[in-house]
Amino acid sequence: MSAEPRPAGSPRRRPLVVLLRTLFGLALLAAVVAWLDPREIFASLAAVERGPIVLAVLTQVLAKLIWTYRWQAILRANRLERGFWELFAVVHIGLFFNTFLPSSVGGDVVRGYYTSRGGKEQTLVSYLSVLIERILGFATFAAMATVAAAVALSTGSTPLPPRLLASVVALGALMAGAGALVFIWRGWTRLARRLPIPEHWIDDLSGGLELFRRPETPRAAILLSSIALKLLGVLLYVLLGWALGLTLDPAVYFLVIPAASIASMVPVTLNGLGVREGVTTGLLSAFGAPTATAGALALLALAVITGFALLGGVFYAFYRQPMNTTSAETRRTG
């Protein structure tokens, strides 16, 4: 990752921007609830079954364990040894900052910082490992949406127009294919430099991919864990839907959740607050879910996501970063 400092905007304006995005997100969320009638939403929540909710929470615990394993595998392949439970805590700290910073990448920076002790080379590997995770997640979501749209198109199991589903298949395949191509073909950098893309973005991405291509990197395990993570992310919504009595085809969730997740990356609110819930509610309603139940599902998912983020706040309050290995070595030899 480029070591040159990059402009971050006026420090005086930053708190104001965070505040405005937070207020805008809360306003969007309130608008969604008001549009759906709060009484109907609360009625849906009151009738929820607790068993599927417990399973939904457990799937997310499993997801965090798989996430930690994947990250540790990437770091270990690049000679960065970090303890599993240390990384498990840092994953949650990253979620805390993801949720309470004005974009969905704030936690990535925090995770890179917490694992970058030990000199410039280790710092580079730490941040690039997080970049690899981000690319894999995006490409996996695109591939899942492509498969779901293709299944829906061939079976006619959803009310969406065939042309729209075909467009999703084409766009998703293009995005997933582009993601796969940059992992396989090194020549993409020459083409990318002809586009109006900041050069340091290309350098950062290229550096991260070189780490992934190392012979020591367990690529199959990392790819499989990435798929498992996204499947568990969709399963969260499937289980919450069951808890609320929704009988939608599971393929619907594989179309809706990637779209909502990508929409939440647009940095107009605090970590997509309100945007994700609005898109989820609107799309589920388009697939035939009662609007109040769809809204209740979006709010339940928000509660689970926020709960894990708050757990990250607890880790952050008590976490003590291990001593910088370079500093420790200097003290022993000084």
33-47 pLDDT tens trace: 667 677 887 888 888
Task: Round to whole Å and give the CA distance between 231 and 241.
Answer: 15
Q: Are 68 and 319 in contact (CB under 8 A)?
A: no
Identify residue 118 by its one-letter amino acid code: G
Helix (H, G, I), strand (E, B) or coil at 133: helix
Is the per-residue pLDDT at 222 higher than 80? yes
Min mean pLDDT across 46-60, 175-189, 220-234, 265-279 is at 265-279
Q: Per-residue pLDDT averaged across 143-167, rounded?
A: 79
Q: At what angle do helices 199-213 and 50-77 cross, to 10 degrees?
A: 90
The model's pTM: 0.78
What are the backbone angles phi and psi of residue 191, rounded to the nearest 5°? -70, -40
So what's the pLDDT on residue 87?
92
Two tokens, residue 125: 């590997």
